[in-house]
Amino acid sequence: MTLRILAFGIAKEILGSTSTLVELHAGATVKELRILLEKQYPRLQKLASFMIAVNNEYASSDHVLQPGNEIAIIPPVSGG
Amino acid sequence: MIDIVITEEILNIQQCINKVQSDDCGGIDVFIGTVRDNTKGKKVLRLEFEAYETMALIEMRKLAKNAVDKWSLKSVLIYHRTGILHVGDVPVIIAVAAAHRDAAFDACRYLIDTLKQTVPIWKKEIFEDGDIWVSAHP
């Protein structure tokens, strides 16, 4: 399945874009997505941390991704 | 009442206070974030704020709801700016109204502390010789 991944803050700079498409097998989890992203964009590994949000909520590593999900890379937040 | 806004417009502090005021409340606690002119002594020229707006609004509403439930608040307002802000500008206002002050103080503190930890908003500090996304690296 093809998934569109949104990127914000420093993640946007690391990807060089506000979004990217990735290819994962059906039933792939957030953990598998993270591994793929870290491989494609090694600078993500240098961050203090990053989370994955699915449909506007923080998702755990065992969360199963579905086509059409709104998926985002959330680097360490710093609002306020 | 819960009032959550993300905007590029200048925040009106008095208007925010007026929105949470009500006659059955004994106090309003307000946190006003302001842009500081330095980070560890290094001169800051400006900040650039970016939000994942749909999720940030949801997360802010969650925080507000938690605070209302925990401290029996009458009203919570959280306004956050995005875009370019200069020294002295106000990126965030939190206003909390409650029957008694202890609840208002505690809730206001909880709201700003938790916002900084969980709400998907980012700031970039612009210095004379470069820039940095705050908290991005260990």
pLDDT digits (tens, 9 = 90+) for B106-130: 999 999 999 999 999 999 999 999 9
**Measured between alpha carbons, how far is B119 from B62 in angstroms, rounded to an integer?**
10
- Please give the model's pTM, rounded to 2 decimal places: 0.96
Predicted confidence band of residue B78 (pLDDT cuts 50, 70, 90) = very high
| Number of domains chain A contains | 1
Hey, are the CB atoms on A47 and B137 less than 8 Å from each other? yes
Residue A76 lies in a domain: no
pLDDT at residue B96, as a whole number: 98
pLDDT at residue B77, as a whole number: 98
pLDDT at residue B94, as a whole number: 98
Check if A46 contacts B (Cβ < 8 Å): yes
Check if B58 contacts A (Cβ < 8 Å): yes
**Mean of pLDDT values over B1-23:** 97
User: Which residue, B46, B52, B68, is CA-closest to B6?
Assistant: B52
Check if B130 contacts A (Cβ < 8 Å): no
pLDDT at residue B15, as a whole number: 98
pLDDT at residue A17, as a whole number: 97
**Mean of pLDDT values over B66-90:** 98
Residue of A nearest to B53 (CA): A56
Check if B110 contacts A (Cβ < 8 Å): no
- Least Cα separation, residue B58 to chain A (angstroms): 8
Fill in the DSSP letter of residue A77.
Answer: P
Residue A24 lies in a domain: yes
Check if A69 contacts B (Cβ < 8 Å): no
pLDDT at residue B52, as a whole number: 98
A9 three-class SS? helix
pLDDT digits 0-9 by tens, B28-72: 999 999 999 999 999 999 999 999 999 999 999 999 999 999 999
**Measured between alpha carbons, how far is A68 from B10 in angstroms, rounded to an integer?**
36
Residue A5 lies in a domain: no
Query: In terms of residue numbers, what domain contains A26?
Result: 15-66
Sign of CA dihedral B67, B69, B75, B81: positive
Q: Which helix (H) or strand (E) holds B28?
A: strand B27-33
Mean pLDDT of chain A: 97
Sign of CA dihedral B3, B4, B10, B13: positive
Residue A23 lies in a domain: yes
Residue A59 lies in a domain: yes
Facing B92 at nearest CB: one of A48, A76, A80: A80
Residue A49 lies in a domain: yes
In this structure, the number of other CB atoms found within 10 A of the CB of residue B122 comes to 25
Quick one: how far is CA B134 from the chain centroid? 16
| Residue written as token pair 């709801």 | B65
Facing A79 at nearest CB: one of B80, B133, B138: B80
Check if B39 contacts A (Cβ < 8 Å): no
Residue A2 lies in a domain: no
A-chain residues near B80 (CB < 8 A): 79-80
Percent of chain A whose predicted confidence (pLDDT) is above 90: 100
**Mean of pLDDT values over A19-48:** 97
- Asked if residues B136 and B60 have their Cβ atoms less than 8 Å apart, the reply is no
Residue A79 lies in a domain: no
